[in-house]
Structure 1
Amino acid sequence: MKTRALLVLGLVFFGSFVGRIAVLASETAAKTGAFPKEGEIAGVASCIDGDLAAAVKDRMYSLDTRELAIADREAELKTYEAQIEKRLAELEGANEDLQEKITVVQDARSADIQKLAAIYEGMKPAQAGEIINEMDAKFAAGLISSMNSEQAALVVANMDAQKAYLVSVILANRNQTDQ
């Protein structure tokens, strides 16, 4: 019976010992934050202290500020892009108008040279040769190239030899650059 009483007493002491350890463990865990408080995720409260939380909060504020600045900059860039596209469209329109005017001027110039060539074709070759001798060589070459070949040959034959040579070189070079 003694052994049984000792065994029962040993079990009671052992149970109180285990109970005491459990109470101490739960108090220690509560003090260190090992157990989550109500509404917290397990382990988060013990991982973040005051300085870290402040640094995270500052960083989040900084990122939010940068994000707003970037959004503002994007809006500003879109405005500039729209202005550039508008001006580009205006420039393209102006370029088309300019090209049309250049074409009109070139057509008018070509028509004027054709009329002038017809006038010189109607003149006597000696008379036309004397007048063309006095002209700028490039202009004379353009005029002679607009005349019919037979009449042009007669006019060149009545020109000064050096001027006729210069006009011929200009005409030959025009044909080489056109090819």
Structure 2
Amino acid sequence: MKPPAARPPRRPWRPGRTILPLIAGTFAVAAVMRIGDGVGLALALDAGTGGAATTCPDPAANAALLRALEDRDQKLSLREGIIADRAQALRLAEQRIDERLATLIAAENALSKTVAVADSGADADVARLVTVYENMKPKEAAPLFETMAPEFAAGFLGKMRPEAAAAVLANLTPEVGYSISVIMAGRNAGAPRR
């Protein structure tokens, strides 16, 4: 067997030798990319038109389109103005309604106070009259109750002490006493029960 052939010794690495081919390669790749970029754009444009040549639109058509857009813009501006006017009118109407509502609430509160005063005064007057009828002799009060409407008389008798009301009822004619008793008995007939 022959001894293996000796390899020639390696040359030492030097930086200048490998950088120059690397820079040249980078320039070559950049050139290919620039050419490819233009080709890709051309292919994309060609694919988008279906291979047909594209032409610029007619200037008259552009002018007509521009006029149509300007007309539409004017109409939209007019509508915006109308809507703004309506919104302002609605705000004013809401403000007036709120003011009137506040006025009505104040009037209702004042009326409630007046009604409360009147009711308390009327209740005091009725209580005083009930006391007067209770203190009258039953024979003197009976003719008064006979001339009253039965509903009215039933109201007074319902507020009187039971013994005073019984004495007045005993001195009424049977027909009037019966009608007043029916009204008093039926007054709470429609009230809900437990």
Aligned to 2:71: 58
Equivalent residue of 1:56, what SS?
Answer: helix
Aligned to 1:125: 138
How many residues of Structure 1 are paired with residues of Structure 2 in the alignment?
140
Aligned to 2:163: 150
CA separation in 1, counterparts of 2:182 and 2:113?
A: 32
1:129·1:155 contact (CA, 8 Å) conserved in 2? yes
1:120·1:128 contact (CA, 8 Å) conserved in 2? yes
Structure 1 segments, 4+ long, off by >6 Å, are none
Letter in 2 for 1:168: S
- 1:33 counterpart = 2:56: yes
- 1:116 counterpart = 2:139: no
How does the TM-score come out when normalised to structure 1? 0.70
How does the TM-score come out when normalised to structure 2? 0.65
The one of 81, 87, 93 aligned to 2:106: 93
- 1:163 counterpart = 2:176: yes
Q: Structure 1 residues 84 and 104, CA, compared in 2 at 3 Å: closer, same or farther?
A: same
Gaps of 5+ in 1: 1-28, 35-44
CA separation in 1, counterparts of 2:151 and 2:92?
A: 51
Computing the radius of gyration over CA atoms, which structure comes out larger, 1 or 2? 2
CA separation in 2, counterparts of 1:143 and 1:121?
A: 10
CA separation in 2, counterparts of 1:124 and 1:144?
A: 14
Post-superposition CA distance 1:8-33 (Å, at most 9, x none): xxxxxxxxxxxxxxxxxxxxx9xx43
- 1:107 counterpart = 2:120: yes
* Alignment RMSD (CA, Å): 2.3
Structure with bigger helix share is 1
Shift of 1:153: 1.0
Sequence identity percentage: 37
Letter in 2 for 1:73: R
Gaps of 5+ in 2: 1-52
CA separation in 2, counterparts of 1:110 and 1:75?
A: 51
